[in-house]
């Protein structure tokens, strides 16, 4: 017994790297602080392991101080140039494509991963990342040592900062993730308590919600989905992977580089980054992470994009809310609370009525007004069943279909949406000007993010209101000119 205790002690001292910095970040961690103070040279490591890195690429703090480190071009790079090539063994994925190389510790990991809900896939790959982080001599150490020490995703916000987001759908998601991490911490502890030391995937270390959260955030903010063949039946599936060095690229919707997936001579995965445009010297290399709203950018990546064209606010389709909006808009219609049977029928087709109704609707984004909401308002504000029946649902749902049920109907529908916007704005506890003043005074990065997030949500509403007001004015002047 005593001997095995000594063996455990030796194992734990020499075969793992402590997770301590995941739960206790250094006193003033910044976006640029890495897991270890002087991490290995990542570019050299990629080249040494058979990868290619363009000679004019460097890792450096981004010109925009809030984006952490980035990849910068030191010289002009022509369009089409290959910038980075990673051979198949460099990406870090949950399951290695080489069959038969897994050990007992891997099967513990696989069993834990089975308990992670699909939507939190980043935790699954995060378990693998934690395993490699704990292992002395991990193949990926040069990569892992270069990962950020802290992440600004809301699971690490203080309670006040979470409240300061002021937006229920995001609060719900943040709470869900926090609750999952706390429950999963217990599950991981329970599983690891019964594991033999030599099979412990984290070198005998305690894994808590904080280290799990670090791993989940590292993956959600840095992994890319690539296509891979399913090992059992060969069907192509998208697999999240961490792509060393490539994940030093920051995001832009107008990115100057893109990822290409290829196969090498032995049909193994090869991941390339290619210049999509000419890249000037000193310019950052950027990738497009996707057409995401600010909820996802904040939840997964820990940043908020100003004037994000894909951002929107979520509302619940609710008769009482519509009734209130129509009163604010000065339009009286009883149809909101008691639609006629033909109107109910269309609402059911729009999935806004009935048992399986989906009541989430949106304002903002590329549509400006959720097509289902717009169609419902047009229909509820119409008394002309025959005219409504003439139109296809796709026309009734489209804002670019100009006044399909007549100008008066369209003005009433748009004014009701504008009133909905006024009500939605009123639900935020602070005004835009207050937020702007608070933002100037604010020193904490996470408090700033919370204020920026809610400011952007309010801007989405204001932009939608301006867009709709412009349309109402145009329609009204048309109505006047038509006499």
Ligand X SMILES: C[S@@+](CC[C@H](N)C(=O)[O-])C[C@H]1O[C@@H](n2cnc3c(N)ncnc32)[C@H](O)[C@@H]1O
User: Which residues of the chain form contacts with ligand X (CB under 6 A)?
Assistant: 31, 66-70, 148, 221-222, 247-248, 250-251, 301-303
Asked if 303 contacts 446 with a C-beta cutoff of 8 angstroms, the reply is no
What's the rounded Cα separation, in Å, for the pair 461 and 265? 52
User: Smallest gap, in angstroms, from Cβ of residue 154 to ligand X?
Assistant: 12
Question: Which burial class, exposed, middle or buried, applies to 390 when counting CB atoms under 10 A from its CB (0-12, 13-18, 19+)?
Answer: exposed
Nearer to ligand X, 19 or 151 (CB): 151
User: Smallest gap, in angstroms, from Cβ of residue 157 to ligand X?
Assistant: 14
User: Smallest gap, in angstroms, from Cβ of residue 356 to ligand X?
Assistant: 37
Shortest-Cβ-distance residue relative to ligand X:
68
- What are the structure tokens assigned to 130, written together? 């934690």
User: Smallest gap, in angstroms, from Cβ of residue 4 to ligand X?
Assistant: 41
Map 164-216 to HEC letters: CCCCHHHHHHHHHHHHHHHHHHHHHHHHHHCCCHHHCCCCCCCCCHHHHHHHH
Nearer to ligand X, 152 or 205 (CB): 152
Nearer to ligand X, 30 or 111 (CB): 30
User: Smallest gap, in angstroms, from Cβ of residue 162 to ligand X?
Assistant: 18
Nearer to ligand X, 301 or 453 (CB): 301
User: Smallest gap, in angstroms, from Cβ of residue 125 to ligand X?
Assistant: 14
| Beta-bridge partners for 224 | 241
| Closest CA relative to residue 120, chosen from 206, 38, 41, 213 | 213
Nearer to ligand X, 308 or 335 (CB): 308
- What are the structure tokens assigned to 235, written together? 């069907």
What's the rounded Cα separation, in Å, for the pair 433 and 454? 12
**Termini Cα distance of the chain:** 98
User: Smallest gap, in angstroms, from Cβ of residue 32 to ligand X?
Assistant: 6
Nearer to ligand X, 145 or 204 (CB): 145
* Coil, strand or helix at 71: strand
To the nearest 10 degrees (0 to 180), the angle between helices 104-114 and 121-134 is: 150
Nearer to ligand X, 202 or 303 (CB): 303
């Amino acid at each position: 017994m005593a001997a095995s205790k000594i063996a455990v002690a030796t194992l734990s001292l020499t075969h793992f790297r402590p997770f301590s910095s995941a739960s206790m970040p250094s006193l003033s961690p910044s976006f640029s602080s890495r897991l270890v103070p002087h991490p290995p040279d990542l570019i050299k490591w990629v080249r040494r392991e058979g990868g290619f890195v363009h000679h004019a690429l460097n890792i450096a703090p981004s010109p925009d101080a809030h984006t952490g480190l980035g990849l910068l071009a030191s010289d002009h790079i022509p369009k089409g140039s290959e910038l980075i090539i990673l051979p198949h063994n460099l990406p870090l994925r949950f399951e290695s494509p080489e069959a038969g190389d897994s050990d007992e510790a891997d099967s513990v990991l696989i069993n834990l991963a089975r308990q992670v809900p699909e939507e939190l896939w980043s935790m699954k790959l995060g378990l693998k990342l934690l395993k490699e982080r704990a292992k002395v001599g991990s193949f990926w150490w040069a990569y892992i040592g270069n990962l950020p020490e802290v992440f600004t995703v809301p699971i690490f916000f203080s309670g006040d900062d979470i409240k300061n987001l002021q937006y229920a759908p995001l609060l719900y998601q943040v709470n869900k993730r926090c609750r999952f991490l706390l429950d999963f911490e217990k599950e991981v502890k329970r599983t690891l308590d019964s594991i033999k030391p030599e099979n412990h995937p984290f070198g005998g270390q305690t894994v808590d919600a904080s280290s799990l959260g670090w791993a989940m955030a590292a993956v959600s903010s840095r992994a890319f989905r690539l296509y891979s063949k399913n090992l059992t039946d060969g069907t192509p599936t998208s697999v999240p992977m961490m792509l060393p060095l490539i994940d030093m690229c920051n995001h832009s919707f107008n990115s100057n580089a893109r990822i290409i997936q290829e196969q090498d001579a032995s049909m193994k995965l090869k991941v390339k980054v290619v210049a999509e445009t000419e890249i000037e010297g000193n310019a950052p290399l950027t990738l497009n992470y996707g057409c995401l709203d600010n909820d996802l950018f904040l939840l997964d990546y820990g940043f908020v994009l100003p004037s994000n064209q894909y951002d929107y606010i979520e509302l619940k389709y609710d008769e009482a809310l519509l009734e209130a909006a129509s009163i604010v808009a000065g339009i009286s219609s009883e149809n909101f609370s008691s639609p006629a049977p033909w109107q109910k029928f269309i609402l059911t087709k729009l999935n806004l009525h009935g048992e399986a109704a989906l009541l989430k609707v949106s304002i903002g984004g590329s549509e400006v007004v959720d097509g289902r909401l717009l169609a419902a308002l047009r229909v509820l504000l119409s008394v002309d069943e025959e005219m409504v029946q003439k139109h296809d649902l796709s026309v009734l749902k489209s804002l670019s279909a100009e006044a399909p049920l007549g100008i008066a109907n369209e003005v009433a529908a748009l004014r009701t949406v504008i009133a909905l916007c006024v009500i939605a704005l009123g639900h935020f506890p602070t005004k835009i000007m207050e937020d702007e003043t608070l933002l100037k005074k604010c020193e904490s990065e996470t408090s700033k993010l919370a204020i920026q997030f809610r400011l952007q949500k309010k801007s989405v509403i204001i932009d939608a209101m301006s867009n709709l007001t412009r349309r109402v004015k145009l329609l009204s002047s048309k109505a006047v000119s038509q006499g």
